[in-house]
Amino acid sequence: MNSTLIETELGNFRVQYTIKGLARLQFPKTKIDHASNTIKPVKQWINQTKKALNAILNGKNPKNYPPLDLSSGTDFQREVWALLQSIPTGGVEAYGDLAYRLNKPKAARAVGGACKANPIPILIPCHRVVGANGSLTGFSAGLKWKIRLLRAEGVELPLH
C-alpha cells in the first residue's frame, strides 16, 4: 500500500493516489482503509492536496485541487459526489434536496449512502449535507468532525 500522511493543525490525514489522482483521504486516527492500485504519489499532487485540505479546514475555498480518482464509486455515487462539490463553502443542503436535484426525489437515503461511501471527505464536502430539518445527521468520521468542519466554514449551529 502506498499512502502518505499530510500534517495539519488537526492531525495527520492519510491519503492514497492512483495513476488517475487522489483516491482516498482518511481522517486522523482512523483505521486504514486501503484503496486499490495505489501508486507513489506525484509530489505536486501531495502539495495540491495539502493546500486544498488546509484551506477547507480553515474555512476557505481551495484555489486548486489535485486530480480526483472517483472510479471506486457507482454511477449514482459519482453523481452525488459531483453535486456535493457544488455546495458552496459555508453552505449546507439536505439529503432530500440533493435527491430532488438528481431527479430522484425518493432517494434521500441513497444520497446518504453515497455520502457515507465518499472516499475523499472534506475535499468532496459530504460534511455540508444535513437532515431535512437541519439536523446534523451521520458523518463517516463522526459528528464531532462534522461540527468542527461546519464551524470552520462559518456555519451557525444549531441549524434549526
Active site residues: 126
**Residue 64 region, left (φ>0) first, then alpha (ψ -120 to 50), else beta?**
beta
Q: Give the CA count within 13 Å in the CB-facing half-sphere of 64.
A: 9
Closest CA to 6 of 77, 56, 59, 71: 56
What grid cell was written down for 158? Answer: 444549531
What grid cell was written down for 87? Answer: 455546495
- Cα 99 to Cα 1, 55, 112: the distances in Å are 35, 28, 10
The SS3 call for residue 62 is: coil
